[in-house]
Amino acid sequence: MRVSSYEGEESKGKLEIKIDLDTDIKDRDVIIVEDIIDTGLTLSELKKYLEGKGAKSVNVCCLLDKPDRRKVDDINPEYVGFTIPNEFVIGYGLDYNEAYRTIPFVGVLTHDKEKEPQKSLVRKKTRNI
């Protein structure tokens, strides 16, 4: 599957299914492998969608978890690589409006408020997470 609900740094709050399942999951255990969990809105909707297709169970595995941003109570991943603070991260496939996805590290996206918005993207030195 491929789903999305983000535009820029904020969730649109509506699940958009870009590529749906091509396999029947009725009575099967499902693990969602996610890069990052932020508000949990997308994941909550996706879990409901998969449960509605008859999944026996739906568990979540993520590389990065940002629990301070969570807006739903039903998302608590069973498997977590790293818990990170409430900062917008980019790189290793994580993007900002489809940009910065190919950076070979995870970095924090910051905005320089003295520059115009379209020129304000700067990188803060990354730290190991």
Q: Which of 22, 29, 35, 38 is catalytic?
A: 38
- Please, what sign has the CA dihedral across residues 50, 55, 56, 60? negative
**Alpha-carbon distance 53 to 27, whole Å?**
9
**Alpha-carbon distance 114 to 129, whole Å?**
29
| Active-site residue flag, 29 | no
Which SS3 state, helix, strand or coil, does residue 76 take? coil
CA 47 to chain centre: 14
List residues with catalytic annotation.
38
